[in-house]
Structure 1
Amino acid sequence: MGDQPLSIFQVSGRAMSAQLVRMNTTASNLANVGTVASSPEAAYRTIKPVFRTSFDEASGMSTVDVEQVVTAGGAPTKRYDPGNPLADKDGNIWESAVDESRELVDMLESARTYQNNVEVMQTAKSLIVDTLKLGR
């Protein structure tokens, strides 16, 4: 990270950015619950962020960043539905295998983690302001 130590604001900011990516991927997954496609390749696949933790020796703090976003979860489910306009020549469609309950839990966890980091920033700001007031 260089010679400058990271501030608590930078550490919390990075964590908030990572959780925002997690919330966005979860929102995308939830938006695609039950979507269908004409082939398994075209069917929606669940996406998840992969986090990378780094240790900053100058500050002694760890940070988290999103390394990449990957497809995860089960394969699309084949269903016979010959009346569907997306059905293939055999009358099959493929439904996304998004686990709605798991996605809702992920959304709650990422929202709580985001909020925790907001509170860390507010506490740090408050402590800095209180410290400055001591000098008066």
Structure 2
Amino acid sequence: MEWLKVKRPLRTLDVVVTAVEWGHGKRRGVLSDYTFAIRDGDRLLNIGKAYSGLTDKEIAEMTKYFLEHTVQDYGRVRTVVPDTVIEVAFDQIQPSDRHESGYAMRFPRIARLRPDKPVSEIDTLETVRQIAGR
């Protein structure tokens, strides 16, 4: 008998990048780790961080963009103008004290850049609560 591993379909959220971090190893020298947020009214609440999913070319382009749109430079980490929307895929959402939103994504990865989507249309805390079943 062979075992077949069945994975649940991934969920996605549209989020905005709020901070970036210099990468490690092969990604040393580029801003490849992205912290991202959802909306709660007019507030942005961080919900996670992802560093996989984009091509090397996309990362190089985004590094240039984020260097030009840095709000505060803390060395390894930079806060950036929150205007870059990305779609993030994940396995599930769970409660978390680590993020301001009160939730964290399990195994987040960047599905794609969303230059077509304004920040006003990113996913909300209410959507996250529904996905989490709370």
Give the TM-score normalised by structure 1.
Answer: 0.28
Of Structure 1 and Structure 2, which has the larger fraction of its residues in helix?
1
